[in-house]
Amino acid sequence: MKTVVDKVGSRFEWMSRDEITEFQGAALRTSVARAARSPHYSAKFDELGIDPNDIRLTKDITRLPFTTKEDLRLSYPDKMLTVDREQVVRLHTSSGTTGKPTAIMHTQQDIDCWAELMARCLAMTGATSQDVFQNMSGYGMFTGGLGLHYGAERLGMLVIPAGPGQTARQIMLIRDFGVTCIHSTPSYFMHVAEKMIQDGDDPKPLGIERAFCGAEPYTEELRAKLQDLYGCRVYNSYGLSEMMGPGVAFECTYQDGMHVWEDAYLVEIIDPETLEPVKEGAVGELVMTTLRREAMPIIRYRTRDLTSILGGECRCGRKHARMARFVGRSDDMLIVGGVNVFPSQIEEVIMRNDWLGGNYVIQLAKQGALDKMTVKVEIAQAVFDGSLDNIRTKRDELANQVKDQVGFTVNVEVVEPGSLPASEGKAKRVMDER
Ligand code: AMP
Ligand code: ZN
Calculate how far, in angstroms, residue 226's C-alpha sits from the geometric centre of ligand 2.
21
Average pLDDT for 151-164: 97
The ligand minimizing its distance to the Cα of 259 is: 2
Residue ID of nearest Cα to ligand 1 atom 3: 95
Element holding 170 (H helix, E strand): helix 167-176
| Contact residues of ligand 1, CB 6 A cut-off | 94-95, 143, 214-217, 236-241, 245, 303, 305, 326, 329
pLDDT band at 98 (very low <50, low <70, confident <90, very high): low
Ligand 2 centroid – CA 124 distance (Å): 8
One domain for residues 362 and 323: no
The answer to whether residues 99 and 207 belong to one domain is yes
Domain ends where: 310, 330, 350?
A: 330
Whether residues 191 and 300 share a domain: the answer is yes
The count of structural domains within the chain is: 2
Q: What is the number of the ligand closest to the CA of 322?
A: 2
Calculate how far, in angstroms, residue 45's C-alpha sits from the geometric centre of ligand 1.
29
DSSP H helical ranges for 208-255: 220-230
Nearest-ligand number for the alpha carbon of 301: 1
Distance in angstroms (rounded) separating the CA atoms of residues 222 and 239: 19
Asked whether the CA dihedral 106, 112, 117, 121 is positive or negative, the reply is positive
Clarify whether residues 123 and 248 are in a common domain: yes
Same domain? For 262 and 349 the reply is no
Rounded CA-CA distance 357/414 in Å is 10
Q: Which atom of ligand 1 is nearest to the CA of 332?
A: 12
- Domain holding 220, by residue range, is 1-330
What CATH number corresponds to the domain at position 273?
A: 3.40.50.12780
Q: What DSSP designation does 224 have?
A: H
Are 153 and 270 in the same domain? yes
Mutate to test the pocket of ligand 1, among 326, 347, 423 (most ligand atoms within 8 A of CB): 326
Same domain, 141 and 79: yes
Give the closest residue (by CA) to ligand 1 atom 5: 240
In the reported structure, the alpha carbon of residue 188 is separated from the centroid of ligand 2 by a whole-number distance in angstroms of 26
Q: Which of 296, 313, 330 is the last residue of a domain?
A: 330
Atom number in ligand 1 closest to CA 143: 4
Residues 319 and 331: their CA atoms lie apart, in Å, by 31
Whether residue 203 has pLDDT greater than 80: yes
How many other C-beta atoms lie within 10 A of the C-beta of residue 84? 9
What pLDDT digit, counting tens, does each position of 324-361 carry? 999 999 989 999 999 999 999 999 999 999 999 999 99
pLDDT at 5 over 50: no
Assess whether 320 and 421 both reside in one domain.
no
Same domain (yes/no): 183, 322: yes
Please report the beta strands in 300-355, taking only residues with DSSP state E, as ranges in sequence order.
Answer: 301-307, 322-323, 328-329, 334-336, 339-341
Q: Please tell me the pTM assigned to this model.
A: 0.96
Do 308 and 241 share a domain, yes or no?
yes
- Statement to judge: residues 195 and 324 lie in one domain: yes
Band (101; pLDDT cuts 50, 70, 90): confident
Say which CATH number the domain at 409 has: 3.30.300.30
* Residue at which a domain ends, from 282, 304, 330: 330
What's the whole-number mean pLDDT along residues 145-174?
A: 97
pLDDT tens digit string along 369-388? Answer: 999 999 999 999 999 999 99
Asked if residue 325 and residue 182 are part of one domain, the reply reads yes
